[in-house]
Structure 1
Amino acid sequence: MPPGVVLDSPRTEDGAVLWRIARDSRVLDLNSSYSYLLWCRDYAATSIVARDATDPLQAPVGFITGYTRPDAPRTLLIWQVAVDSSRRGQGLAGAMLDALALRAGATCGVDVIETTITPGNKASHRLFTSFAERHSAAVAREVLFDAGAFPEAGHEPEVLYRIGPLTADRP
């Protein structure tokens, strides 16, 4: 865990900051600001924020949003991972992912992590591949949505990463 950071569940009042972090990433598909407010309210149990412990307001400096799949409730789909530019390169994304997987396993029975990654997103590929290695879990990959499924031109395909099974006795 990087120094000066604490991990927590998101709160509704974090939504605007999460939206700004996502916008400033210049990599993520930006959802509406309203959706981040709802996400912090409705999916707090399956999401996580990293807070600046040195800030009196403990403002978020990173987040992961996720949800359990309705048709596969032991599967946590990771929607977005973002870290403020001032905190990148410190292992914060990996620490958040490890903590969220542990918490979701204990509270929701999650034993599989899924996410989608475009072929050009090398940082996300490294994050989820190293997560699987740390947890001695298999990784299966397949194209979930081909580029032609998206209405806008130039969208890369979304490759589904399925990581698991995870067990409670692993970090």
Structure 2
Amino acid sequence: MPKDEMTTPEDTLIMRKPQSIDGAAIWALVRECKPLDENSMYCNLVQADHFRDTCVVAELGGDIVGWISGHMIPNKDAFFVWQVAVSQKARGLGLGRKMLTHLVNRDECIDADFLKTTITEDNDASWGLFRSFARSVGGELTDEPHYHKEDHFDGAHDTEHMVTIELPREEAEKLKAA
């Protein structure tokens, strides 16, 4: 940033755990981000309340401009990302990758050796985000069909590929110690 430019509170990006009162704003953001599947407002409210430790909102100028919902997979060493939404206002800032990095480094997710998500073959934006994230953490990305169009969606939704990204925690710890 040039020396003559100043950062104002409106320019400051804040990432934080969501609160139940964020549910409506999260729902509106998801609806804005086509072609994301729209959950009910109640679903987003419950995610922000019950799963706040494994979800994140990003604020810019007091507005919620980013959202990731996720959870630790029970009895697994994996963090599952359900949904990523970034407002038009915040595109081009690398916000998706920043929010993913923020989440996997939270105490509640630190035991995850893998990040998992599902993506349809034609969702170029999601593939780009998760490939970029994998490169940034130095983890291998693999995928395989998981929720099949005919078997799981009765033909009404494209097959979702399970994407797995190794989170090389030990290497990161060695680099920190060096």
TM-score, normalised via structure 1 length: 0.88
Indicate which of 70, 74, 77 corresponds to 2:74.
70
Q: Which residue of 2 aligns with 1:45?
A: 53
1:89 aligns with 2:92: yes
Over the aligned positions, Cα root-mean-square deviation in angstroms equals 1.6
* Structure-2 separation of matches of 1:135 and 1:28: 25
* Structure-1 separation of matches of 2:127 and 2:47: 24
**Structure whose residues are more often helix by fraction:** 2
Q: Which residue of 1 aligns with 2:5?
A: none
* Structure-1 separation of matches of 2:16 and 2:58: 6
Q: Over alpha carbons, which structure has the higher Rg?
A: 2
Which structure would you say has the larger RCO, counting Cα contacts within 8 Å and 6 or more residues apart? 1
* Structure-1 separation of matches of 2:36 and 2:28: 11
Q: CA deviation at 1:152?
A: 5.3
Q: Secondary structure at the match of 2:129?
A: helix
Q: What are structure 1's unaligned runs of at least 5 residues? A: none
Matched residue type, 2:108: T
Q: Secondary structure at the match of 1:90?
A: coil
TM-score, normalised via structure 2 length: 0.85
Q: Which residue of 1 aligns with 2:138?
A: 136
Provide the identity percentage: 34
* Structure-1 separation of matches of 2:164 and 2:139: 10
Matched residue type, 2:17: S
Q: Which residue of 1 aligns with 2:105?
A: 102
Q: Is contact 2:149–2:155 with CA below 8 Å preserved after alignment?
A: no
Q: What are structure 2's unaligned runs of at least 5 residues? A: 1-10
Matched residue type, 1:42: H
